[in-house]
Amino acid sequence: MKRIKKEKRVKRISVIFCIIVYLYLFIPIAVIVANSFNATTSKPYLSWKGFTLDWYTKLWENTELLGSFGNTLIIAVVSTLLATVIGTLGAVGMYRYKFKGKGIINALLYIPVVIPEIVLGIALLTTFARGGVPRGMLTLIMAHVSFCVPFVIFNVRARLSGYDSSIEEASMDLGANRVVTFFEITIPMLTPGIAGGALLAFTLSIDDVIISYFVNGQTKTFPLKVMESIKSGVSPDVNALSALILIATILLVVFTQSGIFSGKHKEKSTRR
């Protein structure tokens, strides 16, 4: 009887703890969403003046804000594609081949991950200035690729740790060359790791502020635009765009967790 009471008490404490944690995580997000419906028009847009949808209409009139978000998407997509290709090839190459300095290269991969972003931003700024590269969209993409590649390599390499290379050998024994084997066998087997690395790279790129601040030039991204507006108060149209991004993120998570990429829907249809 005492054991049952103890288990119930532990369960209640666990539930209360989980509720507190989730409230701590999601209350700030809820505040952003709620403030996107705030009818206030006076800075710093903190006092609640009533409910309105006007800010969602005014959002489409704010071409500067939408332009910065467009720049963010372009940079994130391009840098993610480049980082995914480079990181996947790098992970496969380091897994398959042994060469001098391999241990040093593996150790150096952790530097962009553990180094403070402000140090990496200054280093990239100095490199671009010495190389005569004008700051703008190009330097932003190059900078984002530089800190996204290690994360892709780590994800793909984690997938390779349980990889059975005998499948590739069987493919080549059946007449497929190395190129066909790579695209028909290796890539599909590594897809979960590649997808995870790509999503992580996209998230890091679209969210970056510090490194982008040093290398952006005249190209404004959405995080930089928000950072500039903090002094005068973040306007509700920024909150409206943030709410739309949140909805898109939730839909993406639901889409990826529904079994479409994991093949669960195929297993269910096969069982039927």
pLDDT at 257: 65
pLDDT at 151: 92
Q: In which domain, by residue range, is 233 found? A: 63-258
222 lies in a domain?
A: yes
pLDDT at 258: 67
What CA–CA distance (Å, rounded) separates 256 from 237?
A: 29
> What CATH number should be reported for the domain holding residue 211?
1.10.3720.10
What CA–CA distance (Å, rounded) separates 219 from 155?
A: 30
State yes or no: cis peptide before 188, omega within 30 of 0.
Answer: no
Which one-letter amino acid corresponds to residue 183? Answer: F
CA dihedral (218, 151, 130, 133) positive or negative: negative
36 lies in a domain?
A: no
Q: Model confidence over 121-147: pLDDT tens digits?
A: 999 999 999 998 999 999 999 999 999
223 lies in a domain?
A: yes
Q: Which distant-in-sequence residues (6+ apart) come within 8 Å of 168 by Cβ?
A: 181, 185, 186
Number of domains, the chain: 1
Percent of the chain with pLDDT over 70: 91
58 lies in a domain?
A: no
89 lies in a domain?
A: yes
117 lies in a domain?
A: yes
For 83, 109, 166, 231, the CA distances from 90, given in Å and listed in that order, are 10, 11, 21, 43
Token pair belonging to 226: 């928000």
pLDDT tens series, the chain, 272 aa: 677 777 788 888 999 999 999 999 889 888 888 888 887 777 767 777 888 888 888 888 888 889 999 999 999 999 999 999 999 999 888 888 788 888 888 888 888 888 889 999 999 999 999 998 999 999 999 999 999 999 999 999 888 887 777 787 788 777 778 788 888 888 888 888 898 899 899 989 998 999 999 999 888 899 988 888 777 677 788 888 888 888 888 887 777 666 545 444 444 444 44
pTM (2 d.p.):
0.81
Token pair belonging to 263: 């093949």
25 lies in a domain?
A: no
187 lies in a domain?
A: yes
Buried b (16+ CB within 10 A) or exposed e, 242-253: bbeeeeeeeeee
